[in-house]
Chains A and B, each alone.
Chain A
């Protein structure tokens, strides 16, 4: 059964009011305090109703490394985590640097049918940083790519970055920069600071991130284009973005859940589950990131969900891969770090994890619950804590840094175009055709 017409009763809007929703053919048709039951009823159990979460930074590993993650398994993890839209990063094999590859990823997403999968196109051919990929062809393909990124690599050549920023203006594109000056991070293993000095691990200095952020802010302003900063991690980076916004420069920025919670002190175990790029920073960076997300200097949360096979983490630190899982824990980590700390309320969380990322990505079916909108929303039990168990994740990989951690808030239900894809925390097997 794939019934996308129903009445959702007894849910709590993030403003605290109780509402009921009518959904017909996958669209919200009525919102009221109380609705007559003309359609099948889904009981909302007084859970919180949120628009489906939107991730602008997801590594799905298909094509090329399907043993770590596929578009389907990533979609399942997304839905479990409350996402109705995710954005597949370009560093697959082959790289998503042509219309053919982005269309393949988009098609796999449609076939999975659990959430929208928006491909991100590479900025440069093969992520090599030498010459521009065919950005226009990807933008005008069936995948309609809007966000371009060499994530994993920085577009470090200033001239190439300038051209990319200019070029995407013709189709309203946006360059999402992985800000890392590569000359300052050769063989870097972790944040450069007192912990790296003690552990004898080669440092990844904050200035390597901040130098690129500063350069690209100035460049985006100069050429009048849109810049998005991926996974901002430093206090100094926050200050730069804050300044840019005060000047009216079109820059947006994201922060990952793990950078809101963890610090470089975790690395003293030398357990590579904490190895990530950009690296875990210091407590003062963490506090600055939280403050910036609360005040809107940082626009959105993005997961940087990065699945890796167990052998890539079951080894010595320097041999391990960079990256952490994020989709299934993102909401809970943000609740833990931002709501339970009193920095943010649920309305702001909705803005940072749904409305704003949907707006940056141009994902029109996402980010709000309104009459006429696609029925992409989730139900959350804010009272129910849960303990992360890596063996129970829907991702194909197990590299979560939050294993055995107790976290607040549980995603109960996910609706994608009205299809009840997750019910009481379990996949229903239904999909959107």
Chain B
């Protein structure tokens, strides 16, 4: 990667994306060879700066940092100085003063990661672990990694793959990052949602849009179900959970409509019974747990590439 931050998929070229994915694959090869921990970032300090609860993303980054032997400091807004009114700027500067070299930031404000990187508040590398409704770049990278593993004939080019992203596109940073990344790799993306959960001016995105899951499902090579928050009902985005599940959930007989070769994805955490049935989540085509495992590899690759660690050792040479 050219930059010293990972803020948005929009900043990455196709070759940079492939560099991350190839690095993750190399890390997978080494760790599969029995080396669980690499010394590449020994003595380096990474901070998990989480202003929003997200246990799984935090743990995934933590695991990635530890497998590269980095020191990791976990900061969570709950019960911290933030709840006493401390600003993002002061929090970040404080953690940098404690030795942080790279900050992994999760924040409810769209643009928070970019602001941290460009405001001059800190010098650290910044990794965006989800900013509001804007982006979640490492999620998109791990999704692409997972798809690549399942479609080896599309290893360096997703042209010809049709990927459906279903659900709350409007509020989803996962959808925004995935649209950017999948189209960068050449996939055809179709966004499937009720009109209320699609952003304004969606016609300017490089995607197809459909309101009807049933008419699209047979054509998909991958289907990505987004988490739907039940409280969206209160803002009249949809009338009831039952109606949402009926029209847009991967539930019931709809599962059988998928191609045999298609994979089912979900960024988690799932609402079983709402956007996805237990049967769909646990079936042979589901790659949801692989996504979790791949998340650690992709995040290792990102930390490694940004922090310029020592060369990756070849199998068996190091403990």
Cβ-defined contact, B111 with A203, below 8 A = no
Closest to B176 in A: A200
1/0 per residue, CB under 8 A from B, across A36-57: the answer is: 0000000000000000000000
Q: Mark B162-200, 1 if CB is under 8 A from A, else 0.
A: 000000000001001000000000000000000000011
A318 and B51 alpha carbons, distance in the complex (Å): 13
Interface residues of A in 169-194 (CB under 8 A from B): 189, 192-194
> Known contacts A200-B176, A270-B110, A315-B87: does B115 contact A205 (CB below 8 Å)?
no
A196 touches B200 (CB 8 A): yes
Verify if A316 is at the interface (C-beta below 8 Å from B): yes
- Is B201 within 8 A of A318, CB to CB? no
B202 touches A197 (CB 8 A): yes
- Given A193-B201, A194-B204, A270-B111: A199 touches B134 (CB 8 Å cut-off): yes
What is the CB-to-nearest-CB distance from A359 to chain B, in angstroms, rounded to a whole number?
A: 39
Within 8 A of A (CB), among B117-172: 118-119, 131-135
- The yes or no answer to A18 lying at the interface (CB within 8 A) is no
A15 interface residue per 8 A CB criterion:
no
B88 in contact with A319 (CB, 8 Å): yes
**A317-B132 Cα distance, complex, nearest whole Å:** 11
A253 adjacent to chain B (CB < 8 Å): no
A205 and B200 within 8 A (CB):
yes
* Contact, CB under 8 Å: B201 / A197: yes
Residues of A contacting B201 in the complex (Cβ-Cβ under 8 angstroms) = 193-194, 197
Please name all residues of chain A whose beta carbon is closer than 8 Å to the beta carbon of B202 when the two chains form the complex. Answer: 197
Please measure, in the bound complex, the distance between the C-alpha atom of A306 and the C-alpha atom of B160, giving whole angstroms: 53
- Per-residue CB proximity of A303-317 to B under 8 Å, as 1/0? 000000001001111
CA distance A34 to B39 in the complex (A): 88
Q: Is the CB of B89 within 8 A of A314?
A: yes
- B133 x A203 contact (CB < 8 A): no
Count CB-based A-B contacts (< 8 Å): 69
Q: Which A residues are in CB contact (< 8 Å) with B115?
A: 270-271, 315-317
A423 is an interface residue with CB less than 8 A from chain B? no
Residues of B within 8 A of A189 (CB): 110
Known: A315-B87, A319-B87. A201 touches B200 (CB 8 A): no
Complex CA–CA separation, A195 to B231 (angstroms): 26
Query: A202 within 8 Å of B by Cβ?
Result: yes
Instruction: Tell me the smallest distance from the CB of A416 to a CB of chain B, in Å.
Output: 40
Complex-state Cα separation, A198 to B179, whole angstroms: 11
- Contact (Cβ within 8 A) B200 A311: no
Inter-chain CA distance A200–B111, complex, in Å, is: 8
B-chain residues with CB within 8 Å of residue A318 when the two chains form the complex: 108-110, 132
- The chain A residue with its CB closest to the CB of B114 is A270
- The A259-282 residues at the B interface (CB cut-off 8 A) are 269-271
In the complex formed, the residue of B with least CB distance to A202 is B133
In-complex Cβ contact of A317 among B109, B173, B199 (8 A): B109
B119 to A319, Cβ gap below 8 A?
no
**Are A314 and B109 interface neighbours, CB within 8 A?**
no
Q: Is the CB of A200 within 8 A of B200?
A: no
Residue from A193, A271, A316 in contact with B112 in the complex, judged by beta carbons closer than 8 Å:
A316
B107 interface hit (Cβ, 8 Å): yes
Across the interface, do B88 and A201 meet the contact criterion of CB distance under 8 Å? Answer: no
Q: Nearest chain-A residue to B132 (Cβ)?
A: A200
* CB pair B119 A201 closer than 8 Å: no
The distance in angstroms between the C-alpha atoms of A200 and B201, with both chains bound, is 12
Residue contact B133 to A314, C-beta cutoff 8 Å: no
Q: Which chain A residues lie closer than 8 Å to B118 at the CB level?
A: 269
Q: Which residues of B contact A311 (CB under 8 A)?
A: 87
What is the distance, in angstroms, from B169's C-beta to the closest C-beta of chain A? 10
CA of A318 to CA of B89, assembled, Å:
14
- Say yes or no: B89 contacts A199, CB within 8 Å: no
Which residues on A sit within 8 Å (CB–CB) of B89? 314-315
Give chain A residues whose Cβ lies under 8 Å from the Cβ of B205. 197
- Whether A200 contacts B87 in the complex (CB less than 8 A), given A192-B200, A316-B111, comes out as no
Nearest Cβ distance between residue A354 and chain B, in whole angstroms?
39
Cα–Cα distance between A192 and B200 once the two chains are bound (Å): 7
Knowing that A199-B134, A200-B133, A201-B111 are A-B contacts, what are 14 other residue pairs whose CB atoms are under 8 Å apart, sorted by A's residue number? A194-B201, A197-B200, A198-B176, A200-B110, A201-B110, A201-B132, A201-B134, A270-B110, A315-B87, A315-B88, A316-B115, A317-B110, A317-B111, A317-B112
**6 interchain residue pairs of minimum CB distance:** A270-B111, A200-B134, A200-B133, A197-B199, A194-B201, A318-B109
Task: Report 22 cross-chain contacts, Cβ distance below 8 Å, ordered by A residue.
Answer: A189-B110, A194-B204, A197-B199, A197-B200, A197-B202, A197-B204, A199-B111, A200-B173, A201-B111, A201-B132, A203-B200, A271-B115, A314-B89, A314-B119, A315-B88, A316-B88, A316-B111, A316-B112, A317-B111, A318-B108, A319-B87, A319-B88
